[in-house]
Amino acid sequence: MKIQVLGSGCPTCKNLYEITQKAVGEMKLDAQVEYITGNEGIQKIVELGVVSSPVLAVDGKPAMVGFTPDIEKIKEAIKKNI
């Protein structure tokens, strides 16, 4: 399973990455969380057909768009898309 946080280089995106890492740790999933940012992140976001940032992607599909500080919501988004 591949979990990615795609961002455009803003602090909010980094924040989502950190919370996602924590969520994945707490869920005891065998997955690495990858953080893609800058131009590459933007390109990935657009390729997914999304126009907001950050994006939480599970196996290359957008699981959640936009930021939330709620770790439970992030866990739920990952679970739904496994």
Partner 1 sequence: MDIFSPIQLFSDWVSYSLLALQRKSVAGNAVNFFITDSIKILILLFVIIFIVTFIRSYLPPEKIKKVLSRRFELIGNILAALFGIITPFCTCSAVPLFIGFVESGVPLGVTFSYLISAPMVNEVAAVLLLGLFGPKIVLLYIASGVTIAVVVGFILGRMKLEHLVEDYVWKIKAGKTATETHLSVKERSSEAYTYTVDLVKKVYPYVLIGVGVGALIHGYAPENLLAKIAGKGNHFAVPVAVIIGVPLYSNAAGTIPIVKSLIEKGLPIGTALSFMMAVTALSFPEMIILRKVLKLRLLAIYIAVLTLGIIFTGYLFNIVL
3-state secondary structure at position 70:
coil
From the CB of 35, what's the least distance to partner 1, in Å?
Answer: 14
What DSSP state is assigned to residue 69?
Answer: -
Instruction: Find the binder of partner 1 among 2, 9, 59, 79 (CB under 8 A).
Output: 9
**Nearest residue (CB) to partner 1, 16 versus 24:** 16
Interface pattern 49-68 for partner 1 (x via CB under 8 A): xxxxxx------xx--x-xx
Closest listed residue to residue 74, CA positions, set 29, 38, 41, 44: 29
**Pair of tokens at residue 42:** 């933007």
